[in-house]
Amino acid sequence: MPQISPEEVMQKVSKGKPYTLMFLITGKALELEENIVNQLQMQHLAHLFTLKQEGKASVFGPVSNNERLRGIIIFNTASKEDIAGWMANDPYINGGYLTYELYDFFTIPGQQISNY
């Protein structure tokens, strides 16, 4: 594997920009009928796909092996205020079934998850 020089590293890092990493956290218990939970899940996913389609989020997905941490979203902004407004429309957040934590995140635009 070819070695990347320090100059190449700095050239790549210089193209970086701030993002926001969101951790979706378990909120109050979902003590609802299964059909209501399924409707909430569909609305939640539609909301996330809309954020992606609008260019507000880059990556999102569930975390399946942790009872507290339920999902991760990477937003294409450093504005916590914008994100709070967007997430207020999520049915799980709005209903208190999920809460979230926001973290500053820096990366290089254009990175993606591979299809290995």
Q: What is the pLDDT of residues 12-41, one digit of tens each?
A: 899 999 999 999 999 999 888 889 889 999
Percentage of the chain exceeding pLDDT 70: 97
- Rounded to a whole number of angstroms, the distance between the first and last alpha carbons of the chain is 18
What is the predicted pLDDT for the residue at 77?
Answer: 96
Determine whether 102 is exposed, middle or buried from the number of CB atoms within 10 Å of its CB (0-12, 13-18, 19+). middle
**Is pLDDT at 99 greater than 90 in this prediction?**
yes
The percentage of the chain sitting over the pLDDT mark of 90, rounded to a whole number, equals 78
Domains in the chain (CATH in brackets) are: 31-101 (3.30.70.1060)
Q: SS in 3 state form for the chain?
A: CCCCCHHHHHHHHCCCEEEEEEEEEECCCCCCCHHHHHHHHHHHHHHHHHHHHCCCEEEEEECCCCCCEEEEEEECCCCHHHHHHHHCCCHHHHCCCEEEEEEEEEECCCCCCCCC
Among residues 1, 42, 24, 3, the alpha carbon closest in space to that of 97 is found at 24
Instruction: Please provide the average confidence, as pLDDT, over all residues in the chain.
Output: 93
pTM: 0.87
Q: Beta strands 57-62 and 69-75: pairing type?
A: antiparallel
Kindly tell me if the per-residue pLDDT of 116 is higher than 70.
Answer: no
- Higher-pLDDT residue of 76, 114: 76
Predicted confidence (pLDDT) per residue in 38-90, tens digit: 999 999 999 999 999 999 999 999 999 999 999 999 999 999 999 999 999 99
